[in-house]
Each structure stands twice: as structure tokens, then as C-alpha cells.
Chains A and B, each alone.
Chain A
Amino acid sequence: MYPAPFNYHRAGSVAEAISLLSNLGDGVRALAGGQSLLVLLKARFDTVTDLVDLGRIRGLDGIEAGNGEYRIGALATHARLARSPVAEAIPIFQDAANGIADNQVRSRGTIGGNVSSGDPSCDWPTLLIALDAQVHCEGPDGKRAVPVNEFVEDLYLTVLGDGEIVTGISFPAPEKGAAGAYVGFKRCAPAYPTTSVGVQLTMDGDDCKDVRVSLGSSGLTPIHATGAEAELRGKLLTDDVIVRAADAAVAESDPIDDQRGTPEFKQLLINTLVKRGIGVARRRCAGEQVEVSHEYY
């Protein structure tokens, strides 16, 4: 399958990319790894007049830690992130970096592209909500940082304006002793998750000191499950409390009916995944090594 014809432009810098994207009309799109965009263009679900390839922009793929935060360049690929010291330090990060699609897609797909696609099935926005991340954007009007849970406004729609691109992601370093889990359920490795759940937990003994819960593929946007968090925060984590949190998360979800499942089926999955995510995060908080990622049928 061929995409419809388009002009190809290779941006050498962020400034050049913004200039090209601002001046090539309504049919221009930014290309990073292309693992979502090229699939859409080949299937002719989308047509462009011009593609601006961001892939050669230098200095946009850094993975850095310091001053109490992590900073990741938009062009860092899933594969590099999975092998990075960030993944080693933050288990929830490794879960997603190893769980997104398959090895081949992870070689090419970028964190910036994944976030920019505005697809509620993409893993990074969901995971990054659990880490309270900021999305760094740059456009004709300058730079700005947007909290990731405000970045995706609606299905495939982000806050990015004309000519604006994502340049990076940052998030605060988790407190010592905090840990998380990102668990998803999908048909097979290359498929998008049927549903996914991110949990980032800070424990104080057996009490939940702080928590963030996020849901992917569970509505038209990634969901910050504040209701589930309220059931957990400051509480002794008994089975009853965890059941109430999972029920609250289900109530906050609004999954669509599609080829991956009915809303009822997806809500059963969300319920189970929230409980599983809390369980894994809690064991990791206690220092246990637990390997999880996306599960297949």
C-alpha cells in the first residue's frame, strides 16, 4: 500500500521545523518515527500535502536526570528508553517501554510521537499521567509546558497549535521508596492495548501516602483516575479499600465499543488491572523485583 503522494522536507532544527510546519498550509504534518502516522497514511485514513521529518534534529533525543527531575527528548525511541538508566530507576517506566507494541516498532517509535498522536490507546500519555509529567512544546509563539493530563483534549486531538511540536517530556523524580506499575492487556504484541492502567504509589508502612492512577484505552482520552486515587490516599491498603478504588476507576472510565471489546468487557479488565497494578506497585515499594508488562490473550 502506498500513501498518497506528499512533499518531503527534512528539518535540521526545531526552528526550521516550526517554520516549515507554519508555512506549508493545512495539509502539513510532522513526522517522527512514523509508527502511527505512516500506518494511517498508507491506509489513506489521513492524507497530507507535506511531511516535515523531525527525525534528524540533533539534541532532541536526550535522556537526562538531575535537579530532582527527569527530562526526555521527544525523539527518544521506546527501545532506547527501555534500555536507559531511567527505566532501571523507575519500574513503571520499564513496564511501558518494554510493553509498547513489539521490538521492531520500539526501534523506530518515539515518546514525542506517541504523546503527540492524541490516541487514547497510546501507552506513554497514560503512563506519564501516573508520573505527573509535563509535555514541553515549542511553536511560532514560543515555548510552553503543558501537564500531560491536559495535553490530549479529545480523541486524536491535542492542545498543539499550528506549527507547534512536542520537544520533550519532564517529570519529577519519584520519592525514595515510591514505585509503580503499568499493566496492559492486548490481543498480541503489535496490537494496541484493549485497556491499560498506570499506578504510581508512595507507601508509609502499610498506608498509602500518595498515589496516582491513570487509565489508557478506557475513553476518548487518557484518564487521570482521581476518584480511584481518593479511595486510596491516606488509607491502610486493605482488600476492601483496593476493591473500592478499582470500582471508582471503572466509574471514571468510558470505554468505547470496538473490535477490541465491548465497554462491559473493558470495564471488567480495568477493574482487574487496577487491582493488579496496585498489588505490583505495593510489592515493588517493599523492594521486591516484579516483572510485569502487557499481557496477551
Chain B
Amino acid sequence: MSTTETAAQDIPKVAVEITVNGQSYRREVEPRTLLVQFIREELRLTGTHIGCDTTYCGACTILLDGEPVKSCTMLAAQADGGEVLTVEGLEKDGELHPLQTAFSEHHGLQCGYCTPGMLMSSLALLQNNASPTEKQIRKGIQGNLCRCTGYHNIFKAIEAAAAEMRED
């Protein structure tokens, strides 16, 4: 269904109100604005990364109303009224989240590009399953690619964070 492109300036903007890391933001955006662009370019929260841009790599993973989603494959307009948690929302009062500490301690990253998405998928996993088996951890981050670590230290980090979070 190929049609002539409509000029962007002729398109009415869409009003959206999205809560990100506990703070509500109202913006008028182009309809084609992706949620990841809203987060990175409108709000300047650049912790959420764009990796493959084709729904493969998971670097752009955020939590929307508690569920992990790839923010590059969603319009900001679709998230209107929703609550988003990004990697910037993990740290509380200057204290790293147990997942962040564990990724650091267990060397669960090298270049760090996939890490924000890995952390958010790991959080979604641990919120639903406080004591995941190794297989469940593998399934939990099945939608996140890492080209550096070979994943083993990521699994170790998630296991360690799970243990830490069970104690808290």
C-alpha cells in the first residue's frame, strides 16, 4: 500500500502525557515519534539506547506499566497515559539498584551498550520471579542481545542481584 508521503509539517501533532520515572510529562509530538525518541530527544534521558532499531536487540527496553517493551517499536502516542520506567529510574537517592551493583561487581558488561536494556529486562524478570533458575534467567533476557560478554557474567549478575533483593 504505497502512497505519496505526506509532508511532516502538514500533520497535526498529538498531545501525550507520559509518566517517566515518577514524573509526568506533557508534550505535543509528531504522530510518528517513537517512544524511545520521546524518552531520549524530548526528555533528554539518554540512558535508554537505540541499538538495532529493528526489534531485535532489546537495548531500548523500558518498562511500560510494569511490562518490558522495546521502546523503538512503539509510538509515543501509544504510551499516552502510561507509566514508564527507564534505567535512570533504577537508582534511588544516590544508591544503585541491586541489579546495577551486581552487573558492576560480576563484570556483567564490557562496552555497556546493551546494559540499560539488560537491566530493565532483568528487573521485569525478578519482579515476577524472585528466585529464577538459570534457564528462567536465560529466557528472561531472550530479547536482549549482548555482543561482548558471552552472557555468562550477566547470568551471574542477575543471580546475585536476585539473592540480594530476596534479602532486602
Segment at the interface with B among A33-41, A170-178, A279-287: A33-41
* Nearest Cβ on chain A to B29's Cβ, whole angstroms: 10
Contact B73 A8 (CB under 8 A): no
How many A residues touch the partner, as a band? 35 or more
Among B17-25, B48-56, B85-93, B95-103, which stretch is in contact with chain A? B48-56
B129 to chain A, nearest CB (A): 12
* A43 proximal to B (CB < 8 A): yes
Which residue from chain B places its CB closest to the CB of A7 in the assembled complex?
B11
Q: How far is the CA of A6 from the CA of B14 in the complex (A)?
A: 11
- CA–CA, A2 to B67, complex, Å? 24
In the complex, A236→B112 CA distance in Å?
56
Complex Cα spacing A190 to B53, Å = 13
Q: In chain A, residues 97-127, which have Cβ atoms closer than 8 Å to a Cβ of chain B?
A: 101-105, 107-108
Does chain A have a CB within 8 A of B12?
yes
Question: Given the known A-B contacts A6-B6, A8-B31, A47-B5, are A108 and B74 also in contact in the complex, defined by CB atoms under 8 Å?
Answer: yes
Specify which chain A residues have a CB less than 8 angstroms from the CB of B1 in the assembled complex: 26-27, 29, 46-48
- Which residues of B50-80 have CB atoms within 8 Å of chain A's CB atoms? 53-58, 61, 64, 67-70, 72-75, 77-78
Residues in A with CB closer than 8 Å to B104 are: none
Q: Are B77 and A10 in contact (CB under 8 A)?
A: yes
Bound-state Cα–Cα, A40 to B60, Å = 18
Q: Are B69 and A107 in contact (CB under 8 A)?
A: yes
For residue B62, which residue of chain A has the nearest CB? A104
Q: Is the CB of A5 within 8 A of B7?
A: yes
Question: Is A104 within 8 A of B32, CB to CB?
Answer: no
**Given A103-B68, A103-B140, A189-B143: A8 in contact with B75 (beta carbons within 8 A):** yes
Asked, given contacts A6-B31, A8-B14, A46-B1, whether A103 binds B121 with beta carbons under 8 Å apart, the answer is yes
Q: Kindly state the separation between the CA atoms of A108 and B37 in the bound complex, as whole angstroms.
A: 18
Is B83 part of the binding interface, using a Cβ–Cβ cutoff of 8 Å? Answer: no
Please tell me if B133 contacts chain A, counting CB pairs below 8 Å.
no
- A35 CB contacts on chain B under 8 angstroms: 55, 73
Pairwise interchain contact B6-A49, C-beta atoms closer than 8 A = yes
Q: Is B84 an interface residue (CB 8 A)?
A: no
Q: Determine the residue in chain B with the shortest Cβ distance to A51.
A: B31
Min CB gap B151→A, angstroms:
12
Shortest C-beta distance, B106 to chain A (Å), equals 22
| Complex contacts, A46 vs chain B, CB 8 Å | 1-2
Q: In the complex, are the beta carbons of B32 and A2 less than 8 A apart? A: yes
CB of A5 within 8 A of CB of B11, answer: yes
Residues of B within 8 A of A31 (CB): 75, 78
Q: Using Cβ atoms and an 8 Å threshold, which residues of chain B touch A1?
A: 53
Interface centre among A5, A29, A46, A48 (most CB of B within 10 A): A5
Contacts of A107 in B (CB 8 A): 64, 67-69
Is A5 touching B6 in the complex (CB atoms < 8 A)?
Answer: yes
Interface presence of B165 (CB below 8 A):
no
Q: Which residue of B lies closest to A102 (CB)?
A: B143
| A12 CB → nearest B CB, Å | 13
Partner of B3, one of A26, A55, A190: A26
Q: Evaluate contact between B56 and A190: CB separation under 8 angstroms.
A: yes
B61–A104 CB distance below 8 A: yes
User: Binary interface profile of A, 13-32, with partner B (CB < 8 Å = 1, else 0)?
Assistant: 00000000000001101010
Q: B69 to A5, Cβ gap below 8 A?
A: no
Question: Residues of A contacting B53 with CB < 8 Å?
Answer: 1, 42
Q: Can you name 27 A-B pairs with beta carbons within 8 Å?
A: A2-B34, A4-B5, A5-B32, A8-B77, A27-B3, A29-B1, A35-B73, A38-B73, A42-B72, A46-B1, A47-B1, A49-B3, A51-B31, A53-B75, A79-B67, A101-B55, A103-B140, A103-B142, A104-B69, A105-B70, A105-B143, A107-B64, A107-B69, A108-B69, A188-B145, A190-B56, A190-B58
Q: Which residues of A contact B (CB under 8 A)?
A: 1-8, 10, 26-27, 29, 31, 34-35, 38-39, 41-43, 46-49, 51, 53, 55, 79, 101-105, 107-108, 188-191
- Apart from A53-B75, A104-B58, list 17 A-B contacts with CB within 8 A: A2-B37, A6-B6, A7-B11, A8-B75, A26-B1, A34-B73, A34-B75, A35-B55, A38-B73, A42-B53, A42-B72, A47-B3, A48-B1, A103-B121, A103-B140, A107-B67, A190-B57
